């Protein structure tokens, strides 16, 4: 059994881009509608730095979230002419959004080799987020994965048979081409992306559901997201990833991510929250340290980000709880804590941390199980 598992893992490991080019379609439906909801995710070991075609410079792992989701509905209708171009209308929360179209167009260009039907249809895409618009919550992971899911659902109808594993792998592969971290949003509760020796089946091309045992304590883990600053980021993730080329600490950072992932594997199995905290907080601060030491350097944290971190450290010490923080590429703080400590930690968050949020805004989220067809 173990030997067979290893063989399958090796097959996945050696998959290449061309394995995602489909067999000829058996039918092409004239018209139809698909709807998916797909969540955001929060990385525990961070992806920061990439090579061409969204290949990560280091492996990462994330908790899939439950409440922060994008819901996307795609209506498709076969075109009679103009088969050389993409054709779509885009509505965000009910309003036509011309400014979002170039990003979608780039995404379509990147994925058309793997979904050759894309130029045969006109699409009407309706999309909305469960979290407040411009809250500083990255919507690219949930947004790109929701759209990739809708397109894959179409392909599924055009092919004779596609297994659930093949479906998930290809959606993750396509989502990655929209936004790297989006490839970790399809399944849950934990998804790993990027080749690394300690995880069988890990791939640079797609995320995989974390394949090893996970301790009870991580069930229903909470992530209360504190919206510290909702403004536009001065430096985008795309530019930040780019700045890891020639970064003075790049090699050490990429090695550290492999080693942190290996250490985290042990923690996820034995449920040691003290070790969990030290890996997760160090990863968050290292991500920001990379930003502060790149050329040009930049800072995405705000004074209130640091005030919140200090309050968390003070409270953890005096309460003997296991609350900790992590950060995305922004000023907002993700406060992580286990289900069995929520009655102590949540009142602390409301009383001591929410005052640091812009307009007192925060989102109560928790670990989730992935995307859903609606």
**Contacting residues toward ligand PMV, per CB under 6 A:** 43, 46-48, 60, 138, 140, 179-181, 237, 241, 287, 328-329
CB-nearer residue toward ligand PMV: 24 or 296: 296
> CA-CA distance, 207 to 218, in Å (whole number)?
20
d(CA 183, CA 111): 14
C-beta of 10: minimal distance to ligand PMV in Å?
A: 26
Q: How far apart are CA 266 and CA 77, in angstroms?
A: 49
Q: Which residue, 43 or 308, has its beta carbon nearer to ligand PMV?
A: 43
Decide whether 69 or 154 has the Cβ nearer to ligand PMV.
69
DSSP state of 338: -
Q: Is the dihedral angle over the CA atoms 91, 20, 63, 244 positive or is it negative?
A: negative
| Beta strands across the sheet bearing 324-327 | 324-327, 333-337, 222-226, 362-366
Least separation in angstroms between residue 188's CB and ligand PMV is 15
Which of 47/131 has CB closer to ligand PMV? 47
| Closest CB 319 distance from ligand PMV, rounded Å | 29
Measured CA angle at 191 (ends 245, 366), to 5 deg: 110
Q: What angle do CA 361, 279, 138 make, to 5 degrees?
A: 35
Query: At its nearest, how many Å lie between ligand PMV and the CB of residue 77?
Result: 31
Question: Closest Cα to residue 173, out of 340, 165, 280?
Answer: 165
Provide, rounded to whole angstroms, the least separation between the CB of residue 275 and ligand PMV.
20
Closest to ligand PMV by CB, 76 vs 221, is: 221
* Least separation in angstroms between CB 179 and ligand PMV: 4
Nearest to 65 by CA among 367, 371, 372, 373: 367
Closest to ligand PMV by CB, 68 vs 345, is: 68
Torsion of CA 337, 47, 143, 79, to 10 degrees: -160
Closest CA to 47 of 161, 181, 137: 181
- In this complex, which beta carbon is closest to ligand PMV, that of residue 108 or of residue 183? 183
Q: What six digits make up the tokens of 132?
A: 């407040």
Nearer to ligand PMV (CB atom), residue 47 or residue 356: 47
By C-beta, is 55 or 96 nearer to ligand PMV? Answer: 55
CA distance 169 to 178: 15
CB of 348 vs ligand PMV, minimal distance in Å: 26
Residue burial 145-164, b: 16+ Cβ < 10 Å; e: rest: bbbbbbbbbbbeebeeebee
Q: Cβ 142 to ligand PMV, closest distance in Å?
A: 11
CB of 115 to ligand PMV, least distance (A): 20
């Amino acid at each position: 059994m173990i030997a067979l598992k290893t063989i399958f893992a090796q097959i996945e490991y050696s998959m290449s881009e061309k394995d995602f080019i489909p067999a000829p379609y058996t039918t092409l439906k004239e018209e139809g509608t698909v709807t998916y909801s797909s969540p955001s995710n929060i990385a525990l070991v961070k992806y920061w730095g990439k090579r061409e075609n969204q290949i990560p410079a280091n492996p990462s792992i994330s908790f899939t979230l439950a409440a922060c989701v994008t819901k996307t509905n795609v209506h498709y209708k076969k075109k009679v002419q103009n088969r050389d171009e993409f054709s779509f209308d885009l509505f965000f929360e009910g309003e036509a959004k011309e400014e979002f179209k170039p990003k979608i167009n780039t995404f379509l260009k990147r994925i058309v080799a793997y979904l050759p039907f894309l130029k045969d249809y006109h699409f009407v895409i309706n999309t909305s987020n469960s979290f407040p618009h411009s809250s500083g919550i990255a919507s690219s992971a949930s947004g790109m994965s929701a759209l990739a899911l809708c397109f894959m659902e179409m392909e599924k109808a055009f092919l004779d048979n596609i297994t659930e594993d093949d479906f998930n792998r290809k959606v993750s592969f396509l989502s990655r081409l929209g936004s790297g971290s989006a490839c970790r949003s399809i399944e849950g509760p934990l998804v790993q992306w990027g080749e690394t020796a300690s995880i069988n089946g890990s791939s640079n091309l797609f995320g995989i559901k974390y394949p090893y045992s996970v301790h009870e304590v991580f069930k229903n883990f909470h992530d209360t997201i504190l919206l510290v600053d909702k403004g536009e980021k001065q430096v985008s993730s795309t530019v930040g990833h780019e700045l890891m080329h020639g970064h003075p600490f790049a090699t050490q950072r990429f090695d550290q991510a492999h080693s942190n992932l290996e250490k985290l594997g042990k923690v996820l199995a034995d449920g040691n929250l003290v070790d969990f905290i030290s890996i997760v907080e160090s990863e968050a601060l290292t991500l920001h340290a990379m930003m502060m030491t790149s050329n040009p350097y930049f800072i995405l944290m705000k004074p209130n980000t640091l005030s919140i971190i200090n309050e968390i450290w003070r409270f953890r010490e005096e309460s003997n709880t296991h609350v900790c923080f992590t950060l995305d590429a922004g000023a907002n703080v993700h406060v992580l804590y286990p289900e069995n400590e929520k009655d102590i930690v949540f009142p602390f968050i409301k009383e001591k941390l929410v005052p640091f949020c812009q307009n007192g805004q925060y989102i109560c989220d928790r670990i989730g199980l992935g995307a859903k067809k609606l």
